[in-house]
């Protein structure tokens, strides 16, 4: 990523006042709203320093489920235009329930998996929403370049995934979409960690229900840097005036 070149992504994140948000931020070790570290969490058998090394990737991206993967902004679009587009999109969609969450694993190959919170049950509405985000906001994204293909490991992709990478900037979209909130790096003992985290999740989070009520815009301001939440756009709310949206964008990018 070139110097001073921002990347953005669109996430699904829980309300910041919720048990679910606090649990996710404490497990991975960072709050991407304040960018403050959340120290002290560890599982039985995993000292804090060891746990932090196991969650470094998740910590960089922040607690979230990906709806539109990191992308560079189109050159003829400014940050205020980005905010306007996301706000307008969010206004036209409405909150919905997306099943209950459980701690599980996502296989990554070579005997490794990562631990994640995964929604269970009927996911038709969540999949439809993800497809709308991917297709409806793709015009914000700068054209695909070969470095993106190399960065995202296209040699390991199926033909369909490789097509999606080229067409939409990310291979795991549409019918390849597997919604999850990542909690660890890829690790060899993911099943054991998932079992321990499931117990902790049940104790610390009052409700397992996943309620989708907002579309979250995040920013990465430097290569390999941490992602920060710029704004959480509530679904179904009246669109801000262009003037107030521009003021919001200007404040976020100061």
CATH number for the domain spanning 74: value is 3.90.1140
- Residue 247 DSSP class: H
| Angle at alpha carbon of residue 149, lines to 146 and 53, rounded to 5° | 130
Is position 106 within any domain? no
pLDDT at 242: 53
CA 178 to CA 106: how far, in whole Å? 9
- Classify residue 60: in a domain, yes or no: yes
pLDDT more than 90, % of the chain? 75
Tell me: pLDDT of 153 over 90: no
Q: How far apart are the first and last CA of the chain?
A: 20
- Per DSSP, which regions of 87-177 are E strands? 96-109, 112-120
2 pLDDT band, cuts 50/70/90, is very low
* Angle CA 9–14–1, to nearest 5: 20
**Cα–Cα separations (whole angstroms), residue 226 to 36, 37, 171, 222:** 11, 12, 22, 8
166-169, long-range: CB within 8 Å, 24+ apart, which pairs?
168/134, 168/135, 168/138, 169/68, 169/69, 169/71, 169/138, 169/141, 169/144
Kindly state the tokens that stand for 90. Answer: 């969010």
pLDDT at 173: 96
**Spatial distance between the Cα atoms of 78 and 191, rounded to a whole number of angstroms:** 44
Q: If you search the block for the tokens 């979409």, which residue do you land on? A: 177
Reply yes or no on whether the pLDDT at 251 is more than 60.
no
User: Would 89 be classed as within a structural domain?
Assistant: yes
Inter-axis angle of helices 79-91 and 124-136, to 10 degrees?
150
Look at residue 1 and tell me if it is in a domain. no
Q: Which of 14, 86, 13, 66 is nearest to 173 (CA)?
A: 66
Average pLDDT for 196-210? 95
The predicted pLDDT at position 39 comes to 83
CB 103 within 8 A of CB 194: yes
What's the rounded Cα separation, in Å, for the pair 41 and 28?
8
Q: Is residue 226 part of a domain?
A: yes
Q: Is residue 218 a contact partner of residue 230, using CB atoms and an 8 Å limit?
A: yes
Distance CA 14, CA 22 (A): 9
Average pLDDT score, the chain: 89
Least confident of 121-125, 148-152, 158-162, 164-168: 148-152
In a domain, 214, yes or no: yes
Domain housing 56: 7-98+120-183+209-252
Confidence of residue 157 (pLDDT cuts 50, 70, 90): confident
Domain count, the chain: 1
Residue 248 confidence (pLDDT) = 54
Distance CA 230, CA 43 (A): 31
32 inside domain: yes
Highest mean pLDDT of the ranges 33-37, 45-49, 110-114, 134-138: 134-138
Residue 113: inside a domain: no
Categorize the per-residue pLDDT at 127 as very low, low, confident or very high, splitting at 50, 70 and 90: very high
Give mean pLDDT, residues 173-192: 96
pLDDT of 243 over the 50 cut: no
């Amino acid at each position: 990523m070139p110097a001073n070149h921002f990347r953005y992504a669109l996430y699904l994140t829980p309300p910041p006042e919720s048990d679910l948000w606090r649990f996710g931020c404490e497990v991975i070790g960072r709050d991407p709203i304040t960018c403050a570290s959340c120290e002290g969490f560890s599982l039985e058998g995993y000292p804090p320093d060891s746990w932090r090394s196991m969650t470094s990737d998740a910590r960089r991206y922040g607690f979230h489920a990906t709806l539109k993967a990191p992308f560079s902004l189109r050159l003829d679009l400014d940050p205020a235009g980005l905010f306007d587009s996301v706000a307008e999109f969010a206004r036209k969609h409405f909150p919905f329930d997306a099943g209950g969450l459980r701690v599980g694993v996502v296989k990554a190959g070579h005997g490794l998996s990562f631990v994640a919170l995964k929604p269970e049950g009927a996911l038709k509405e969540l999949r439809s929403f993800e497809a709308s985000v991917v297709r409806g906001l793709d015009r914000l994204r700068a054209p695909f370049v070969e470095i993106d293909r190399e960065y995202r490991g296209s040699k390991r992709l199926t033909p369909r995934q490789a097509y999606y990478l080229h067409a939409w900037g990310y291979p795991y979209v549409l019918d390849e979409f597997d919604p999850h909130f990542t909690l660890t790096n890829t690790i060899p003992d993911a099943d054991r960690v998932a079992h321990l985290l499931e117990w902790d999740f049940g104790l610390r989070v009052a409700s397992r229900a996943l309620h989708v009520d907002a579309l979250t815009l995040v920013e990465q301001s430097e290569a390999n840097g941490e992602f920060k939440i710029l704004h959480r756009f509530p679904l179904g709310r009246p669109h801000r005036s262009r003037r107030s949206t521009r003021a919001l964008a200007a404040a976020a990018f100061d």
